[in-house]
Each structure stands twice: as structure tokens, then as C-alpha cells.
Amino acid sequence: LGECKKLEKVELHAHLNGSISIATIGKLLKIEGRSNIVIPTDFVLKQPTTMEEVFKMFPLIQKLTEKPENLRIAVEDVMREFEEDGVVYLELRTTPKCTEFMSKKEYVDVILEAIRRLEDRRKMKTRLILSIDRRQNIEEAEETAKIAIDDDSGLIVGIELSGNPILDGTKFIPTLQKARNSNLGISIHLAEVEENTQEIMDFLIFRPDRIGHGTFLHKNSEFVRIMRDLRIPLEICLTSNTLCKTTKTIAESHLPFWKDLGIPIAICTDDKGLMNDCNLSEEFEKASVNFGFSKRDLENICKTSFDISFFSRRDKKL
């Protein structure tokens, strides 16, 4: 694990609210006096065992970041924790939310401000991806895309689609296309569950810059054929997949299948706070133990991850 910690790692798939550590959740609960937030006090022990459980936790944690001052603490802690784990480039993603205390734009501005403030002091670089939640309507998605397109900080580098994987997301394709036309990177959570074959096909044809999870893609020969042609990079989250039971064990993960085919892959944490308070070094360690990766293999994964990142997408505006 020491060796994995020393690696200069790149994190491309980290949802802000899911990445908030147990320690920070405790800090925010204390600040809030837990008045109207009912997160179980034994939350630490209640790590999820299914995807449904994970999705039940999000609204509770999101309540803790409804105020700008709390959101600032959450972002700063998440960035510090990734840096302490040896991450040199972080692509953080979050769904802009209109709360009682902030508009969507203000929510994004608080995060950008925190990134900017720490940018000079820290070795780690951080960029932001705005998320569209599958539950949203097209107007909400358009509003999020507009914030990213109009951003002139240079720090927002992409748009991604996430949220309950059972819901069809193809209605967002025109919005995603608009974002792509503005040179934003596009990442789509795809094939996290086995259903929605038509959606998977439509999104493969759309050809996102990256795919989140892609857990069930290798089970369909037509998808494999398309992936061989298009070589769309995958963001793979080993612990998250096993806790959500979409892969039975890490050894049975889809990661080696795609790596052997030469598809670029990034190893990522997804929601480190919710996933046993995991970290990226441990994910690398698990890949090394389960797939026999050498130090050189792990270094190459770090390099590939940076190559497929959206880092330079908006550089012209910096």
C-alpha cells in the first residue's frame, strides 16, 4: 500500500457528495446540530450493501452541503484528503443544486472559489465536471450545461450524466451535444446495470469521451465490437462496484477484460465516503493484488488516466 500511496495518481471519477469522508460528515452534523437531518448516528457502521442503499444516502448527505459555508468545508476536506493520498490531478464532479441558501450558479461558484483558493497552495490540480442527474428534466440539464458553457474560469472541464441508472438518459443527448460543441469533455455513466440495452447502444453511437463504470458492456458482443472500434476510455471503480453488487468480487471485475483489449482505463473511487471510506491508493493496491499488476502497470494507468482527462479542455481560457 505504501508503494501505491507514493504513486502520482489521477482521480477522474469522484462525486463530491459521495466523496465526503465519515470524518467530515461528523463535522458537518455537529455544525448543523443535526436539527433536521436524519443521518443515522451509526452511519459509520452502515456502509451500503446495495446500489439502492447508496442512492438512499445521497439526499441525506446532500442536505449537509446546502449552505455555502458547509459546501466550502466539504470541498476543501475532499480536496485535502485526495491530495494526502497522493493524487496530483483531481477531476471532481457534482450536480449543481438550487437550495434554500444558494442558486445553482452560486453552488458552482462556491466550489470554484474553493478550488481557486487552494490551487496556488497545493501541488494537486483540481478541475470540475458538472453532473446532470437522470432524474432531472431537460430544462434543468440545460441550465447546468449553460453554467459550464458560460464559465470563464477555465476550471469547469466537462459534463457528465449520472443518477439512478435505471432511468433512461438519452433525452439529454442534444444538451450533451451542445456542451461538446463548446469543447467540454463528456462522460456518461453507462451499463452500470444490465437493463437499458437500447440506451447503451444510443450512447455508444453518441461516442462520449469517457464512460463511467461500463460494468456490463463486456457481456454483450455487439457492445464489445463497438468498443473495439471506438476505444472509449473507461472509469472503473472496483470497491464501489463490489459494494453495489454489480460485480461479485474484485477478481471478477470487467477491468482486466478491457485492459487486455487495449482500451484506456482509469482506476477511480466513485464515492469514497460512502464506499467504506476507501481511497485511491487502496484501489490501486486491490488492482495490483487481484490482477497481478506490476508497479510499471500501475504507473502506466496513472499516465493513461491523465491522457484521457479533460485537463486541457478549457485551457485556452486560462
Residues acting as catalytic residues: 192
Between residue 240 and residue 269, which ones bind ligand 5GP under the rule CB under 6 A?
A: 240
In degrees rounded to 5, what are phi and psi of residue 163? 95, 175
Given the C-alpha cell 466523496, which residue does it identify?
A: 19
Nearer to ligand 5GP among residue 199 and residue 270 (C-beta): 270
Cell numbers found for residue 136: 432531472
Given the C-alpha cell 462556491, which residue does it identify?
A: 110
Residues belonging to the chain: 318
When asked if residue 270 is in the footprint of ligand 5GP (CB under 6 A), the reply is: yes
Rg (CA), the chain: 18
Given the C-alpha cell 465526503, which residue does it identify?
A: 20
Measured over the CA atoms of residue 229, residue 233, residue 237 and residue 238, the dihedral's sign is: positive
Contact indicator for 61, 95 with CB cutoff of 8 Å:
no
Q: How many residues bind ligand 5GP (CB under 6 A)?
A: 18
- Residue from 22, 26, 37, 62 binding ligand 5GP (CB under 6 A): 62
- Residue from 271, 282, 283, 285 binding ligand 5GP (CB under 6 A): 271
Cell numbers found for residue 31: 455544525
Nearer to ligand 5GP among residue 13 and residue 314 (C-beta): 13
- Residue 213's DSSP bridge partners are 190
When asked if residue 63 is in the footprint of ligand 5GP (CB under 6 A), the reply is: no
When asked if residue 209 is in the footprint of ligand 5GP (CB under 6 A), the reply is: no
Nearer to ligand 5GP among residue 5 and residue 146 (C-beta): 146
- Residue from 4, 10, 16, 232 binding ligand 5GP (CB under 6 A): 16
Helices 197-206, 173-181: axis angle to 10 degrees equals 20
Stretch that binds ligand 5GP, among 16-24, 167-175, 278-286, 296-304 (CB under 6 A): 16-24
What single string gives the DSSP state of each residue in 267-310?
A: E--BSTTTTTT--HHHHHHHHHHHH---HHHHHHHHHHHHHTS-
Between residue 160 and residue 179, which ones bind ligand 5GP under the rule CB under 6 A?
A: 162-163, 165
- Residue from 133, 160, 209, 282 binding ligand 5GP (CB under 6 A): 133
In degrees rounded to 5, what are phi and psi of residue 36? -120, 20
CB of 208 to ligand 5GP, least distance (A): 14
Between residue 88 and residue 107, which ones bind ligand 5GP under the rule CB under 6 A?
A: 94-95
Nearer to ligand 5GP among residue 97 and residue 122 (C-beta): 97
CB of 270 to ligand 5GP, least distance (A): 5
- Residue 267's DSSP bridge partners are 236
> Cα–Cα distance between 158 and 186 in angstroms, integer?
6
Positions in the binding site for ligand 5GP (CB under 6 A): 15-18, 58, 62, 94-95, 131, 133, 162-163, 165, 189, 192, 240, 270-271
